[in-house]
Amino acid sequence: MFNLQQKKAVITGAGSGIGKSVALLFAQQGAAVSLVDINEQQATAVASEIKAAGGIASTCITDVSDQKKVMTVFEQLGTVDILVNSAGISHIGKADTTTAEDFDRLFNVNVKGLYNCLYAAIPLMKKNKGGVILNMSSVAAMVGIPDRFAYSMTKGAVSAMTLSVAKDYLADNIRCNCISPARVHTAFVDGFLAKNYPGKEAEMFDKLSKTQPIGRMAKPDEIAHLILYLCSDEAAFITGCDYPIDGGFTKLNN
């Protein structure tokens, strides 16, 4: 089950966090993985890890917010069976504390960056008679989270774009879904705590973990396994859906 042999998968943000876990898992399942990331060192390290394990990987170092660069990447790839839009950035701030520069930065990466990849990949999938797209939304698109104004805006857009793409390309045999994680323990979380709560990292980590009713943050591998299912042939009847993977955050918090 969940065999990705003969599949060409493009994963954005593949140099770290969830994207890295997806890349490693997809390669393990037989996909030829193209790692799209702005950080060459991180992407190269992931590609090396995949190759060392006998998998197939290549790196595409680019900024997803730049459409011309994204188009060049996909033109060079030639064909795409699976696109995982995992690249994204976060921000802390309310409507009156978010600067125009930060708002634009979030929009350019999280919304326009995803659009750029859709714009480039969908024609290749149509030519290939089908494909699968998985977008990374967030629980922030569904519930009010303090101090996440711009971030929540971008993830609401991701969820809406997912529905549009799923509807528009039914006849082209292109499926499109998104997932909405709650907090996931990545290097970003550790860096955020070290920067904003020096000396209180453990205390704040415990506090953030307990905002999920299940009592902990997710592991990147747990997110990757849901993405694998949704991108596999076993999920061929699923499109236009958003899957919370949140330890009960959206339904069990009172």
* Number of separate helices (H) and strands (E) present in the chain: 10, 7
Identify whether 115 is a catalytic site residue.
Answer: no
How far is the C-alpha of 177 from the C-alpha of 165, rounded, in Å? 9
CA R_g for the chain: 18
Residue type, 244: P
Residues written for the chain: 254
Active-site choice (115, 151, 169, 243) = 151
The SS3 of residue 16 is coil
DSSP symbols for 189-246: HHHHHHHHSTT-HHHHHHHHHTTSTTSSPBPHHHHHHHHHHHHSGGGTT--S-EEEES
Q: How far apart are CA 94 and CA 151, in angstroms?
A: 10
**What are the catalytic residues?**
151
